[in-house]
């Protein structure tokens, strides 16, 4: 890069460059990394002499903005800070949603006393509709969760254990006294 170009650049930043030289030079700043470096250095010197320095952090801005705009132009999320915040928020909402959904399902199924069986679990190969009593009153989640686990214990006692119920498939019979006594064996959540 010639001295003449850099001298023009120096005059441009002072607003002292003739119009006819200006447009071409501005175009060159866009296209020449070397000219852009001089442009940067001259302004940094000017900022220092005018007590406008913010410090080293400011030097990260141009590359960060360039990267963000490139990402934005290619359809990716541009703002790392915002992306972090949104990711955290989304993760939180997802966890809460899953927990709520799980709690709601367990409460509804267990409280009705008629737990769901997988479709076709009656051995006929024909799907049965899942029976859920939606009018049931919610009970404390911890107790319900323990009951749920107990009901799905493959070694658990069920009132109709003599019947040929597929292993793991639950019956629609409410838990009896024996099963209630087993609750204490499970940790409270």
Partner 1 sequence: MTKEKTSSADADRLLVKRVQAGDQAAFNALVLKYQQRVLKLVSRYVRDPEEALDVAQEVFIRAYRALKGFRGDSAFYTWLYRIAVNAAKNAIGAATRNPVEGGLDVDDPELMEVQRRMTDEATPERLLYTEELKQTINRAIEELPPELRRAILLREVKGLSYEEIAQVMESPVGTVRSRIFRAREAVAQSIKPLLE
- Sites of contact with partner 1 (CB under 8 A): 3, 6-7, 10-20, 22-23, 26-27, 29-31, 36, 38-50, 52-62, 64-66, 68-70, 72-73, 78-81
Query: Min. distance of Cβ 50 from partner 1 in angstroms?
Result: 7
DSSP H helical ranges for 55-184: 61-73, 80-112, 141-151, 177-182
Dist. CA 101–CA 7, nearest whole Å: 69
Q: Which residue has the tokens 């006393």?
A: 113
Please give the distance of CA 2 from its chain centroid, rounded to a whole number. Answer: 52
User: Closest CB to partner 1 among 17 and 169?
Assistant: 17
Query: Which of 172, 177, 179, 131 lies closest to 153, judged by CA?
Result: 179
Could you write out the DSSP letters of every residue in 154-166?
Answer: TT---TTTTS-PP
User: Closest CB to partner 1 among 81 and 129?
Assistant: 81
Query: Min. distance of Cβ 180 from partner 1 in angstroms?
Result: 51
User: Closest CB to partner 1 among 69 and 89?
Assistant: 69
User: Closest CB to partner 1 among 27 and 152?
Assistant: 27
User: Closest CB to partner 1 among 42 and 186?
Assistant: 42
Query: Min. distance of Cβ 92 from partner 1 in angstroms?
Result: 20
Dist. CA 97–CA 90, nearest whole Å: 10
Query: Min. distance of Cβ 159 from partner 1 in angstroms?
Result: 59
What residues have CB less than 8 Å from 120, skipping those under 6 apart? Answer: 126, 127, 128
């Amino acid at each position: 890069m010639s001295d003449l170009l850099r001298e023009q650049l120096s005059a441009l930043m002072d607003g002292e460059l003739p119009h006819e030289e200006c447009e071409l030079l501005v175009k060159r700043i866009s296209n020449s990394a070397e000219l852009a470096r001089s442009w940067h250095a001259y302004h940094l010197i000017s900022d220092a002499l005018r007590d406008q320095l913010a410090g080293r952090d400011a030097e990260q801005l141009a590359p960060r903005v360039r990267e963000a705009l490139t990402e934005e132009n290619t359809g990716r999320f541009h703002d790392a800070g915002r992306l972090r915040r949104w990711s955290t928020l989304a993760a939180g909402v997802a966890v809460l949603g899953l927990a709520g959904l799980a709690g709601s399902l367990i409460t509804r199924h267990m409280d009705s006393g008629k737990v769901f069986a997988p479709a076709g679990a009656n051995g006929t190969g024909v799907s049965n509709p899942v029976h859920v009593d939606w009018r049931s009153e919610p009970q404390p989640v911890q107790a319900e969760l323990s009951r749920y686990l107990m009901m799905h214990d493959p070694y658990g006692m069920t009132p109709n254990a003599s019947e040929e119920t597929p292993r793991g498939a639950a019956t629609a019979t409410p838990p009896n006294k024996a099963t209630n006594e087993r609750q204490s064996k499970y940790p409270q959540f």
